[in-house]
Amino acid sequence: MSDRCRAFFALPLPPPVLASVERFSADLRRVCERRGITGRWCKPEQLHVTLKFLGYVERSAAAGLAGTLARRAAKLAPITSGLAQLTAFPSTRRARVLVVRLSDPSGAATKLAAQLEDDAATLGVPREERAFVPHLTLARFKPPVDVTELLEPVTVPQDPVELGVLRLYESRLRPEGSYYAVLAEARLGH
């Protein structure tokens, strides 16, 4: 095993919301297939809200990152959110990634992402240049595709989402797609 791993901080979805998003994503996939749009769809167990991608870090740093995770989680109550909008990055006309944006009415997810960004910077991890947008990645497209017509008639499930766990994941790259292993976990507010 390598001395380095690809790591990121994220908020996993609670099981009831995960099941709802899984059904929604499966329906979207069928619509895409009927329209000849092919992509790599995320497996349900991969769905999460990424707060900070760390890139490759030394495995020896994992204990420090786990400590950061525990400190941040202890100071924050569970985050109340909701599924807000189906969209694409960088745009709907040249979609590389199909996502569901989450609402962040209290700003708690955005604040936590900024704090983790600061914590990671002290470890030498480069800062993200793009603004944080809480979202779930549903699919990736290569080459980019126009999904504008696909998005117009779609309404995302209106489930309330309570994000109550903060995790440090390792992303293991495999030919069939990424696999995420939990390196550390803490409940928010504990």
Domain of residue 156: give its range: 4-187
CATH for 54: 3.90.1140.10
pLDDT at 1: 60
Question: What global pTM score does this model have?
Answer: 0.92
> Torsion angle, CA of 86/90/92/93, rounded to 10 degrees?
-170
Indicate the average pLDDT of the chain.
91
How many domains does the chain contain in total?
Answer: 1
Instruction: For residues 115 and 86, give the distance between their C-alpha atoms in angstroms, rounded to a whole number.
Output: 27
pLDDT in tens, 119-169: 999 888 899 999 999 999 999 999 999 999 888 777 888 878 999 999 999
Provide the 3-class DSSP secondary structure of residue 82.
strand
- Of 127, 46, 37, 51, the closest CA to residue 88 belongs to 37
Pair of tokens at residue 43: 């497996």
